């Protein structure tokens, strides 16, 4: 999936795009500068003492000091107080991040090799595209269909593992109208680095418009003007088809789609068929009906998640890949 370059935030951190981001960054910077001061505060005197009090010859007497109670108390108590302070700064952010506000909007999130899908309160489902209203807390109830994945939106400063057989949750409140990126941040297979999604934080009015029409009022509407082949090309990456199907003959998880149209494929059940429009149409809807010999039936179904127009575009695109 390709994205515009991320706009940089501060020197170390990406932009802050959620209400919790400043809290997390504050804790991080406190710990960071604390460490910098401690490092130089220890290393400079250390270097000085090494030089100043080095033994200069066989006649030099060795120190007989065994301990110094006053200094030992000072260098134990002061760091303890500082570290306890750091703990509470961290705890504050941790509590904020753990407990979702009661009025949060809930979105069911499913991770699988190698895509994200989101089901909204009204039943609408999107693939590799998370759309949320600005200034509204959103709670994700997440599960995985296969292996361990992890949800990470750097600009929101939130990260949570997504595991099979159980639900995990995470919440955030986008506070800037923008587009950002969701990464899978747990290695889950060869398509891991392609397992990304776009996150759109929209003004309330734009969000409502999207909920009604499925069109993102800013930026997303260009797809209507694209030719079927070009629209199919954007869908091919947007829907993560490219995570498993190459277009240059390379074998990944699934068969390469280079020059596939018109080719006769042999299936695991012993049948065979020339690839035509209907075969391409059925493949994302019922992926395990006709599994090409030599491959595993691991493709997720896109049933109920593709519009006819999108399927037409994918067919046009796959036909064009020679």
Nearer Cβ to ligand CUA, position 27 or 184?
184
Nearer to ligand CUA, 111 or 132 (CB): 111
Residue 207 structure tokens: 């969000």
Q: How far is the CB of 65 from ligand CUA (least distance, A)?
A: 56
3-class DSSP assignment, residue 21: helix
As a whole number of angstroms, the distance between CA 68 and CA 80 comes to 18
Q: Which is nearer to ligand CUA, 130 or 195 (CB)?
A: 195
Smallest distance from ligand CUA to CB 81, Å: 41
Locate 285 and state its tokens: 């809807």
Segment 86 to 115, residues that bind ligand CUA, using CB under 6 A: 111
User: Rounded to the nearest whole angstrom, what is the least distance from the CB of residue 192 to ligand CUA in the complex?
Assistant: 4
Residues 43/45/48/49 CA torsion (nearest 10 deg):
-110
Within 13 Å of residue 75, how many CA atoms lie on the same side as its CB? 9
Residues 185-244 binding ligand CUA (CB under 6 A) are 186-188, 192, 195
Q: Select from 83-91, 127-135, 183-191, 223-231 the region that touches ligand CUA (CB under 6 A).
A: 183-191
Shortest CB 56 distance to ligand CUA, Å:
59
Judge whether 139 and 156 are in contact, CB under 8 Å.
no
**Minimum CB separation from ligand CUA for residue 188, in Å?**
3
Mark the segment that binds ligand CUA (CB under 6 A) among 44-52, 83-91, 180-188, 288-296: 180-188
- Determine the Cα–Cα distance for residues 254 and 296; give it in Å rounded to an integer: 8
Place of tokens 């309330």: 204
Q: Which residue lies nearer to ligand CUA by CB, 113 or 291? A: 113
What minimum distance in Å lies between the beta carbon of 152 and ligand CUA?
10
Q: Which is nearer to ligand CUA, 128 or 175 (CB)?
A: 128
Q: Candidates 53-61, 174-182, 184-192, 260-268: pick the segment binding ligand CUA (CB under 6 A).
A: 184-192
**Binding footprint of ligand CUA, residue count (CB under 6 A):** 8
Site string for ligand CUA, 128-157 (x = CB under 6 A): ---------------------x--------
Closest to 306 measured CA to CA, from 220, 244, 231, 246: 231
Q: In the chain, what is the straight-line distance between the N-terminal and C-terminal CA atoms, in Å? A: 21
CB closer to ligand CUA out of 179 and 186? 186
Helices (H), 171-267: 204-213, 228-238
When the beta carbons of 148 and 226 are compared against ligand CUA, the nearer one is 148
Rounded Cα gap, residues 72 and 191, in angstroms: 54
Which H or E run contains 93?
Answer: helix 69-98
CB-CB neighbours of 195 under 10 Å: 25
Burial of 66 (0-12, 13-18, 19+ CB in 10 A): exposed
Q: Closer CB to ligand CUA, residue 184 or residue 257? A: 184
Q: Assess whether the previous peptide bond of 161 is cis (omega < 30° from 0).
A: no
Q: What's the min distance (Å) between Cβ of 108 and ligand CUA?
A: 17
Question: Which residues of the shown chain bind ligand CUA in the complex (CB under 6 A)?
Answer: 111, 149, 184, 186-188, 192, 195
């Amino acid at each position: 999936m390709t994205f515009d370059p991320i706009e940089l935030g501060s020197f170390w951190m990406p932009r802050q795009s959620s209400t919790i981001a400043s809290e997390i960054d504050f804790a991080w910077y406190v710990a960071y500068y604390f460490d910098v001061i401690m490092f130089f505060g220890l290393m400079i005197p250390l270097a000085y003492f090494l030089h100043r009090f080095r033994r200069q010859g066989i006649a030099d007497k060795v120190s007989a000091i065994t301990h110094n109670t006053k200094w030992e108390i000072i260098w134990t108590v002061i760091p303890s107080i500082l570290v306890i302070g750091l703990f509470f700064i961290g705890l504050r952010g941790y509590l904020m991040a753990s407990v979702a506000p009661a009025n949060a909007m809930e979105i069911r999130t499913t991770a699988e090799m190698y895509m994200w899908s989101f089901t909204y309160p009204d039943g609408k489902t999107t693939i590799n595209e998370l759309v949320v209203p600005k200034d509204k807390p959103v709670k994700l109830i997440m599960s995985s269909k296969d292996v361990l994945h992890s949800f990470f939106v750097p600009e929101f400063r939130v990260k949570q593992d997504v595991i099979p057989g159980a639900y995990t949750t995470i919440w955030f409140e986008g506070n800037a109208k923008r587009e950002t990126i969701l990464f899978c941040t747990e290695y889950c297979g060869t398509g891991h680095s392609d397992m990304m999604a776009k996150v759109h934080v929209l003004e309330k009015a734009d969000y409502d418009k999207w909920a009604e029409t499925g069109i993102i009022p800013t930026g997303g509407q260009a797809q209507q003007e694209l030719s079927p082949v070009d629209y199919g090309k954007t869908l091919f990456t947007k829907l993560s088809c490219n995570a498993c199907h190459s277009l240059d003959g390379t074998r990944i998880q699934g068969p390469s789609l280079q020059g596939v149209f018109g080719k006769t494929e042999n299936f695991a059940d012993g049948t065979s068929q020339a690839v035509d429009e209907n075969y391409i149409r059925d493949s994302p809807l019922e992926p395990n009906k006709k599994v090409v010999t030599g491959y595993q039936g691991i493709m997720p179904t896109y049933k109920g998640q593709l519009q006819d127009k999108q399927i037409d575009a994918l067919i046009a695109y796959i036909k064009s890949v020679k």
